[in-house]
Amino acid sequence: MDVDTIAAISTPIGEGAIAIVRLSGNEAIKIAGQLFHGTDLNKVESHTIHYGKIVDPVTNEVAEEVMVTVMRGPKTFTREDVVEINCHGGLASVNRLLELSLSQGARLAEPGEFTKRAFLNGRIDLSQAEAVMDLIRAKTDKAMNVALKQMDGKLSKLVQTLRQQLLETVAHVEVNIDYPEYDDVEEMSHEMLITKTKEVYVEIERLLQMAKQGKILREGLATAIIGRPNVGKSSLLNALVQETKAIVTDIPGTTRDVIEEYVNIRGIPLRLVDTAGIRETEDIVERIGVERSRQVLKEADLILLVLNNGEELTEEDIKLFQAVDGLEVIVIVNKTDLEQRIDIQRVKEYAKGHKVITTALIEEKGINDLETAIAETFFAGHLDAGDLSYVSNVRHIQLLKQSLDALTEAMNGMEAGVPIDLVQIDVTRAWELLGEIIGDTVHDSLIDQLFSQFCLGK
């Protein structure tokens, strides 16, 4: 079936060494050939690159000096003919090449349309397509490795195996219902159905147990740095980022707003948020910052509560402990280079079993202990991105939870003696939900929504 030939800029907008305009579709080679002066692109071998010039067919002016890569389907990312035009990285240059491509019959690609075509043409499934964006957005090597594993189809194969187990179970039930007169057909008892369903249930449960870590690797750990003014919050941010991002002074209330920065801690991406010191203040600007800090506190996955070793615990410190009660907290007693006035034993009591780390950030002491504490809190100190069981996508996690609920309903029904033909409805539902992960049973509207989140040209 003929489809539009699409074109888009596949490199980031801005100045750079090179830029790439990508075309995909039945007319990709023909369109590029109408612009390219050099080798006849219609006659070259697949997966070869050629030097020449792009010439405006209307004015006959040379538009650019380029290298053109020709890749014939189906051995391409989209399984269609693909052409990539490599030009100089100027904004005007690459935009002109795109305009010329569109003038010759190509259509501007929608966000994610190249990857969408790879999915629709059967080269990758939906979970692999989503992994492409995860790879682009990966903040650490570990996150990148998880995305690569998913792109390679590790999650897809596991989901397909689980679906096959459920399908065989449902098929066996159907045989017993439709052909009860066949003696050689093994009777599907409630006990056998429970056993087979339980196997899939346990595997999904295992995936969900690892999902929290996978989600952290994919999205980063929202980490709020809180404390009274001038306890060293901005110094902590700068120490973790290893550059000066926040203003550090001896004046309380210097940080008036929320400052965000990504940092890699033992392979875990942290989205650090340095907040304004939480205290009562008459300063209108600082008060706004304090309110934003309180909001950040509610949304954080991890809270780093910073205290001053050179001062006794105050009522404001105690209120902060109360504010983070029940949340994931690491307490940092900073400024150990000063004379100790804080009661560490009292701090540990308020910490209620959470880790307490001592630091002297001005002397760069204690950072390694803090990084170890963060890794141990969320990954037991060990992170293996090669583990196939990491599920990082929120959509996948939700579908796995719904599958687990459906299987729970099935097992509860079997234990209650519900007729087996009714129980299989829940088992079939679980099979369909798992299919949505890889795109076998997904609706067109969801596909459009997912790929609209991709960057243009991918």
pLDDT digits (tens, 9 = 90+) for 401-419: 999 999 999 988 888 888 8
pLDDT at residue 57, as a whole number = 92
pLDDT at residue 35, as a whole number = 95
pLDDT at residue 455, as a whole number = 65
Burial per residue of 117-131, b for 16 or more beta-carbon CB atoms within 10 angstroms, e otherwise: bbbbbebbbbbbbbb
pLDDT for residue 280 is more than 60: no
pLDDT for residue 74 is more than 60: yes
pLDDT for residue 185 is more than 50: no
pLDDT at residue 250, as a whole number = 40
Confidence class for position 27, pLDDT limits 50, 70, 90 = very high
Residues 6+ apart with CB under 8 A from 352: 325
**CA 61, CA 21: separation in Å to the nearest integer?**
19
Q: Per mean pLDDT, which range of 221-230, 241-250, 268-277 is the poorest?
A: 241-250
Which sequence spans correspond to the domains of the chain?
A: 6-109, 133-210+391-440, 224-379
**CA 30, CA 8: separation in Å to the nearest integer?**
16
In this prediction, residues 182-192 reach a mean pLDDT of: 55
Q: What does each C-alpha distance from 171 to 123, 159, 164, 167, 375 come to in angstroms?
A: 28, 18, 10, 6, 45
pLDDT for residue 248 is more than 50: no
pLDDT digits (tens, 9 = 90+) for 345-356: 999 999 898 999
In this prediction, residues 337-365 reach a mean pLDDT of: 90
**Strongest mean pLDDT among 77-86, 161-170, 278-287, 405-414:** 77-86
- Chain centroid offset of residue 252 CA: 37
Note the pTM of the prediction, 2 decimals: 0.64
pLDDT at residue 124, as a whole number = 86
Tokens describing residue 199: 């196997």
pLDDT at residue 130, as a whole number = 81
pLDDT at residue 249, as a whole number = 35
Confidence class for position 97, pLDDT limits 50, 70, 90 = very high
In this prediction, residues 377-382 reach a mean pLDDT of: 65
Tokens 């995305």, residue located: 147
pLDDT digits (tens, 9 = 90+) for 3-25: 799 999 998 877 888 999 999 99
pLDDT at residue 449, as a whole number = 64
pLDDT at residue 284, as a whole number = 52
pLDDT at residue 259, as a whole number = 57
Q: How many CA atoms lie within 13 A of 406 on its CB side?
A: 21
**Strongest mean pLDDT among 126-135, 230-239, 337-346:** 337-346
In this prediction, residues 76-86 reach a mean pLDDT of: 95
Q: Which CATH superfamily is domain 224-379 in?
A: P-loop containing nucleotide triphosphate hydrolases (3.40.50.300)
Q: Which CATH superfamily is domain 133-210+391-440 in?
A: tRNA modification GTPase MnmE domain 2 (1.20.120.430)
pLDDT at residue 388, as a whole number = 45
pLDDT at residue 188, as a whole number = 53
Mean pLDDT in the chain? 81
In this prediction, residues 76-104 reach a mean pLDDT of: 93
pLDDT at residue 297, as a whole number = 72
Tell which wins on pLDDT, 269 or 447.
Answer: 269
For 25, the 3-state DSSP assignment is coil
pLDDT at residue 167, as a whole number = 85
CATH architecture, range 6-109:
2-Layer Sandwich (3.30)
In this prediction, residues 54-75 reach a mean pLDDT of: 94
- Chain centroid offset of residue 404 CA: 22
pLDDT for residue 251 is more than 70: no
pLDDT for residue 187 is more than 60: no
In single-letter form, the type of residue at position 418 comes to V
Contact 7, 21 (CB under 8 A): yes
How many other β-carbons are positioned within 10 Å of the β-carbon of residue 315?
Answer: 7
Q: Could you give the strand order of the β-sheet that contains 221-227, starting from the edge strand earlier in sequence?
A: 259-265, 268-274, 221-227, 302-308, 329-334, 356-358
Q: What percent of the chain has pLDDT over 70?
A: 79
pLDDT digits (tens, 9 = 90+) for 33-55: 999 999 999 999 999 999 999 99
Q: How many CA atoms lie within 13 A of 259 on its CB side?
A: 21
